[in-house]
Chains A and B, each alone.
Chain A
């Protein structure tokens, strides 16, 4: 691990201002992904700003009937919150489908959204990766590469990595909004749908956050009811990343919302696909994954997404 200097920030505003001021600085919250990457020298911050003491660790009710989830709320605390379990159960289901008990006790709401891809070529520093070293090339797109886990849609000729979060898929189907503070001390809100950028020619850029800008909260809108479920298909029964995951909210009249994980650089969802829900899983997935560009190794994900959603709709 490269050497770095360290400070604890007392407030989100102070943290954001410092992050913009100190070149090469990074926030550290739970650290469960950042430290992993720092050990491999994939992340090489020269200064860490510890944001655990910034007072963002509570979940409060909003005037609109929703919840304001502090950026430092641990994944366990969020999954266990009685209000979330009762009124936004798809979020609890998504959270407990991810990682392990130990990691969920430490990982934070904001950090979960900002975790990096688990593409094996991003992790292997002996391989070219446009996300790690812009312009180096993409080993995942070379002949014979292992792309079983990688993306089928929203990808580009520069990068086919997926966003690994389960929580983000639950938040996407719930139409969550991210609140940030800028280095100038201003608050801004960003719908989660617009938060993660697609790789295009610049896969090193993953979100719309500006330098130094810090997530302070995630806002859930008022409960939408319906039957809520999260199904994750993976290569082992627990503690593995999704091949495909499906978050579903289905209303008694057959309408609802769908978001997919494990297929794209961000939680994958569209209003056009949601409108197809009364017509069944095939119609939804045909719309949602229209234009998909899978590799030979991961083309199965399209069929798997359709069959997973079909199974979930039968359970209703």
Chain B
């Protein structure tokens, strides 16, 4: 690590050189150049079929599916973690397939079937995967859990549908339901409390019940 003074000098040099570079670019390109004006915000009306119910909403085109669910429809079960597709807390299903709802625009889902955690069980009647997460302590703080449950269901469906993963051996044979398969397929859902071993146990139990 450089001492602070060296860093200061380096930073100043950097700023000076990038300012010079910026000026030379400006000189080469006339100001009229190619930066189209940012348009006024645009609002669109879309219908999302959320957990089987058609919901018509008006949204700014910039609204992600995640924000439409949470902020417009007040379905706050779907969580916002990183908002960049890296953590999986926002995992929902669209027409049956799991996606990161933070990396999709609500306007792109007009007429789509959206599945959220609110459509899976209730506190009084837990879905088997939810019950297994409780039984096996598949969480601590619980923030990632809705996304984990969504992915857990999808993982079992994807294995049954014969969709291969990085952990799959023979690509032309039926896929074996192994710990390695489940772990690999759950890698898009981070748990900062580190409940991974218990999440694996919960998913395995449900997989065995279904078998």
**What is the CA–CA distance of A226 and B49 in the complex, to the nearest angstrom?**
47
Question: Can you list, as one digit per residue, whether each of A88-130 has a CB less than 8 Å from chain B (1) or not (0)?
Answer: 0100110011011111011000000000000000000000100
Which of A6, A76, A101, A238 is B42 in contact with, Cβ under 8 Å?
A6
- A-side contacts of B22, CB under 8 Å: 133, 135-136
Chain B residues with CB below 8 A from A89, complex form: 171
Q: Report the separation of the CA atoms of residues A96 and B184 in the bound assembly, to the nearest whole angstrom.
A: 10
Q: Is the CB of A46 within 8 A of B188?
A: no
Stretch at the interface among A23-31, A64-72, A251-259: A23-31
15-59 of chain B: CB within 8 A of chain A? 17-18, 21-22, 24-25, 28, 34-42, 44
Asked if A85 contacts B164 (CB within 8 A), the reply is yes
CB-based contact A46/B163 at 8 Å: no
Residue ID in chain B nearest A29 by CB atoms:
B108
- Number of A residues near B (Cβ < 8 Å) is 50
Contacts of B168 in A (CB 8 A): 96
B62-A31 in contact (CB<8A): no
Residue in contact with B104 in the complex, picked from A31, A143, A238, CB distance below 8 Å: A31
- Chain A nearest CB: distance from B185 CB in Å? 5
> From residue 85 to 119 of chain B, which have CB atoms closer than 8 A to chain A?
85, 88, 91, 97-100, 103-105, 107-108
In the complex, whether A291 has a CB less than 8 A from a CB of chain B is no
Are A102 and B172 in touch, CB under 8 angstroms? Answer: no
Please choose the segment from B123-131, B137-145, B150-158, B200-208 that sits at the chain A interface, where 4 or more of its residues have CB less than 8 A away: B150-158
- A134 sits at the interface (CB 8 A): yes
User: What 0/1 readout, one digit per residue, does chain A (181-223) give for beta carbons within 8 Å of chain B?
Assistant: 0000000000000000000000000000000000000000000
Point out the residues of chain A lying under 8 angstroms from B83, CB to CB: 39
User: Is the CB of B14 closer than 8 A to any CB of chain A?
Assistant: yes
Contacts of B121 in A (CB 8 A): none
In the bound complex, residues from chain A placing their C-beta under 8 Å from that of B99 are 102-103, 105-106
Which residues of A are found within 8 Å of B25, using beta-carbon distances? 133-136
Cβ contact within 8 Å between A85 and B172:
yes
Structural contact, B39 and A4, CB atoms closer than 8 A: yes
Q: Contact: A102 with B91, CB < 8 Å?
A: yes
A32 to chain B, nearest CB (A): 5
Complex CA gap A189/B39 in Å reads 35
A50–B188 Cα distance when bound, in Å, is: 25
Instruction: Name which residue of chain B comes closest to A97, CB basis.
Output: B166
8 Å CB contact of A102 from B21, B60, B151, B166: B151
A300 interface hit (Cβ, 8 Å): no
B188 pairs with A102, CB closer than 8 A: yes
Q: Are B164 and A101 in contact (CB under 8 A)?
A: no
Known A50-B107, A103-B103, A238-B184; further 6 A-B contacts with Cβ < 8 A: A3-B60, A6-B107, A24-B35, A44-B38, A103-B188, A137-B21
Chain B contacts to A: CB under 8 angstroms = 2, 10, 14, 17-18, 21-22, 24-25, 28, 34-42, 44, 60-62, 64, 83-85, 88, 91, 97-100, 103-105, 107-108, 151, 154-155, 158, 161-166, 168, 171-172, 183-185, 187-189
21 A-B pairs in the complex with CB atoms less than 8 angstroms apart: A3-B42, A4-B42, A4-B61, A5-B39, A5-B42, A6-B61, A6-B107, A23-B34, A35-B104, A46-B39, A74-B97, A80-B163, A99-B188, A100-B188, A102-B85, A103-B188, A106-B103, A135-B22, A135-B25, A136-B18, A137-B14
